[in-house]
Chain A
């Protein structure tokens, strides 16, 4: 790898040199890859055992956690590296990469790969995950009235939220790009809700949608106050199906527009000035510049941002869960149903089946992601 990082990377990544090695190396690799995480786990476990005592001082817990989390994990890698140094020389460099990458692979295996496979299995089993029931759970998912509503609502989320958030984000990024002063401030104010939890945002917007029937005091919710100001009767917005779904989507739009705006703004700034100026000199109006130059040049970014938003909207859970009353208000979504069936109604088969439906919806995006990554690697 004496060439530039770029070409060196590609060469080694696409065609890893395969030196034939003894089976001993393989076994050693395997041992190391398994031993490190197990020891790491045991050490971490011992260090934190006392924290089961729920009255342990939290600040102390945090302190110990940082020391062990950084120091302990680092020390384990260091120790394992030492052990590799003690191995016969011809094995060393074959085993060492697995010291570095092994723990990550084991954690990914335990916390992502294994559960995904297991969930697929559980989705064909009964409520306690004991005996197989065939496709019953999936039949439930696609016939139950509340589930069908959840699927419909989730489809609504994946359409409305990305379109609205990306549109506002794009408009704002384009306009802010032409501000002479205050662009950074304006952008960070739009971006700010991104730092807030969905739970906090749900409370924030519940206050806006707050409702009191006429005659029960003045409405303290901004929306009803404005609505009444226009001469209407107050409305229980969060119970007004099906429009209440839109009101919940507004919360997510509020939170995610900043993301779209910041990313798109960066893409807009990357367009060479000469192109835009040339179009203006040729007499193009601002709207034409936007439609014919800005949008086509940042189209790949728009696609990526929209995909990200679609994934997030598919998995929306917190907003609906914290606002509450999903069933009575007909605002169910898939991710929220999953928790309800698995965690509250204690039916792991149905919970798993709902999760699988969510997963299948995301698989195309996952494959596309991997394909895109491989194309990028080819270019590198």
Chain B
């Protein structure tokens, strides 16, 4: 009943029945054995080649990068002159990637944590508290999931720069948020909230009501139930959204470009990459090292927490 948009898959967790059929020489498996394996191998290789190209190029000296294709390096993989770490030193230092990496952390972590906390409280209220307009408000949240961010940028930039007033009443103070971390955290929190509330509600709403009821009978108030009971039980859903939001914010170019801008002090990794392409489009040794630096953390997060990530993605198939 927690059923999100689509059944929640988990990589490498096929139902037992499928497993048995697969090992038992299912008729299909034996008939298409070679064809299946070769087709899979071809697609996987095709999918890996682009990343492999970046990885290999980033470790080759500049002159070799520019005179021969990266695949030629694979012919002499053990020749020391073929490889170097210089590109990474250059990218981190002169390319400003080191600074951008720290900025990305400073943007991403709060932008992930703040919406989770706010959404968890809201999801609890939508699931287990009674108030007027609960259903209608939640349908609105579902609708907000696909609003294109482009639709919000102009008013938000103005709001951040000038504040807002109705008559003489200050509705939103002039905080000069443009170019500050605070501004982008709030923006990412706002853009991430609909999905977060949706995901967490479908999980928190599916917790057995007997648990909540018995806690109430024992005299626990909503706040205690939420904090002591619901949050610990919801760790999988919280993790799923955390990974999703982390990857989304880390890889985001649009919001960072508009709210943080491209100055060297505040630029995040995708901005730094875009800047390098613009300034030095053909310096492949630098570009590939920079690209790989930006991929390291998400790839680690991805491979170590893949199961949760898949869960978040599939449940949020409707995110905008």
CB distance from B127 to the nearest CB of A (A): 7
Q: List 24 A-B contacts (CB under 8 A).
A: A5-B205, A9-B127, A13-B134, A66-B113, A97-B129, A100-B125, A103-B118, A113-B144, A115-B153, A118-B155, A179-B36, A193-B50, A195-B302, A196-B295, A197-B253, A198-B253, A218-B69, A219-B69, A220-B68, A220-B70, A263-B313, A304-B5, A338-B150, A355-B150
**Could you tell me if B109 and A62 are in contact, using CB atoms closer than 8 angstroms?**
yes
**Could you tell me if B7 and A266 are in contact, using CB atoms closer than 8 angstroms?**
yes
In A184-207, which residues have CB < 8 Å from any B CB? 184, 186-207
Distance A200 CA – B132 CA, assembled complex (angstroms): 46
B8 within 8 A of A: yes
Give a binary string over B48-84; 1 marks a CB under 8 Å from any A CB, 0 the rest: 1111011001000000011111110000000000000
Q: Tell me which of A137-145, A240-248, A315-323 binds B.
A: A315-323
**Could you tell me if A208 and B11 are in contact, using CB atoms closer than 8 angstroms?**
no
CB distance from B264 to the nearest CB of A (A): 10
Size category of the B interface is 35 or more
Which residues of B are found within 8 Å of A52, using beta-carbon distances? 180
* Most A-side CB within 10 Å, residue of B10, B31, B47, B273: B47
**Could you tell me if B194 and A208 are in contact, using CB atoms closer than 8 angstroms?**
no
In B137-194, which residues have CB < 8 Å from any A CB? 137, 139, 141-156, 158-159, 172, 175, 180-182, 185-187, 189-191, 193-194
**Could you tell me if B175 and A45 are in contact, using CB atoms closer than 8 angstroms?**
yes
Which residues of A are found within 8 Å of B93, using beta-carbon distances? none
Contact of B278 among A103, A179, A273, A324 (CB under 8 A): A324
CB distance from B126 to the nearest CB of A (A): 7
B14 within 8 A of A: yes
B94 within 8 A of A: no
Distance A76 CA – B109 CA, assembled complex (angstroms): 20
Give a binary string over A99-111; 1 marks a CB under 8 Å from any B CB, 0 the rest: 0110111011011
In A318-344, which residues have CB < 8 Å from any B CB? 318, 321-324, 335, 338-339, 342-343
Which residues of B are found within 8 Å of A2, using beta-carbon distances? 209, 213
Which residues of A are found within 8 Å of B273, using beta-carbon distances? 197, 199-200, 202-203, 322
Q: Do A115 and B156 contact each other (CB < 8 Å), given the known contacts A218-B69, A220-B284, A366-B146?
A: yes
Which residues of A are found within 8 Å of B148, using beta-carbon distances? 314-315, 335, 355, 358-359, 362
Q: Do A322 and B251 contact each other (CB < 8 Å), given the known contacts A116-B152, A269-B14?
A: no
Q: Which 5 A-B pairs have the closest CB atoms?
A: A266-B9, A111-B190, A197-B251, A184-B12, A104-B122
Distance A1 CA – B214 CA, assembled complex (angstroms): 11
**Could you tell me if B54 and A207 are in contact, using CB atoms closer than 8 angstroms?**
yes
Distance A340 CA – B53 CA, assembled complex (angstroms): 31
**Could you tell me if A115 and B209 are in contact, using CB atoms closer than 8 angstroms?**
no
Contact of B109 among A65, A178, A358 (CB under 8 A): A65
Name the residue of chain B whose CB is nearest to the CB of A120: B151
Contact of B143 among A129, A183, A356, A370 (CB under 8 A): A370
A163 within 8 A of B: no
Give a binary string over A337-366; 1 marks a CB under 8 Å from any B CB, 0 the rest: 011001100001001101110110010011
**Could you tell me if B274 and A217 are in contact, using CB atoms closer than 8 angstroms?**
no
Which residues of A are found within 8 Å of B187, using beta-carbon distances? 111
A124 within 8 A of B: no
**Could you tell me if B127 and A192 are in contact, using CB atoms closer than 8 angstroms?**
no
**Could you tell me if B284 and A210 are in contact, using CB atoms closer than 8 angstroms?**
yes
A157 within 8 A of B: no
Which residues of B are found within 8 Å of A66, using beta-carbon distances? 109-110, 113
B237 within 8 A of A: no
Which residues of B are found within 8 Å of A203, using beta-carbon distances? 54, 273, 277, 287-288, 290-291
Contact of B1 among A6, A171, A196, A370 (CB under 8 A): A6
Name the residue of chain B whose CB is nearest to the CB of A202: B277
**Could you tell me if A189 and B47 are in contact, using CB atoms closer than 8 angstroms?**
yes
Which residues of B are found within 8 Å of A188, using beta-carbon distances? 11, 303, 306
Distance A314 CA – B147 CA, assembled complex (angstroms): 12
Which residues of B are found within 8 Å of A354, using beta-carbon distances? 150
Distance A343 CA – B290 CA, assembled complex (angstroms): 26
A230 within 8 A of B: no
**Could you tell me if B6 and A108 are in contact, using CB atoms closer than 8 angstroms?**
no
Which residues of A are found within 8 Å of B145, using beta-carbon distances? 369
* Most B-side CB within 10 Å, residue of A2, A58, A178, A218: A178
Which residues of A are found within 8 Å of B150, using beta-carbon distances? 315, 317, 335, 338-339, 354-355, 358-359
Give a binary string over A289-326; 1 marks a CB under 8 Å from any B CB, 0 the rest: 10000000000110011011001001101100111100
Distance A171 CA – B213 CA, assembled complex (angstroms): 47
In A249-272, which residues have CB < 8 Å from any B CB? 254, 257, 259, 262-263, 265-267, 269-270
Which residues of A are found within 8 Å of B299, using beta-carbon distances? 192, 195-196
**Could you tell me if B69 and A222 are in contact, using CB atoms closer than 8 angstroms?**
yes
Which residues of A are found within 8 Å of B141, using beta-carbon distances? 108
B27 within 8 A of A: yes
**Could you tell me if B131 and A98 are in contact, using CB atoms closer than 8 angstroms?**
yes
Q: Do A100 and B288 contact each other (CB < 8 Å), given the known contacts A1-B213, A203-B273?
A: no
Name the residue of chain B whose CB is nearest to the CB of A349: B154
Distance A62 CA – B303 CA, assembled complex (angstroms): 24
**Could you tell me if B132 and A204 are in contact, using CB atoms closer than 8 angstroms?**
no
**Could you tell me if A308 and B317 are in contact, using CB atoms closer than 8 angstroms?**
yes
Give a binary string over A40-84; 1 marks a CB under 8 Å from any B CB, 0 the rest: 000011001001101000110110011001100110011001000
Distance A187 CA – B71 CA, assembled complex (angstroms): 25
A232 within 8 A of B: no
Which residues of B are found within 8 Å of A286, using beta-carbon distances? 28, 31-32
B301 within 8 A of A: yes
Which residues of A are found within 8 Å of B122, using beta-carbon distances? 100-101, 103-105
B239 within 8 A of A: no
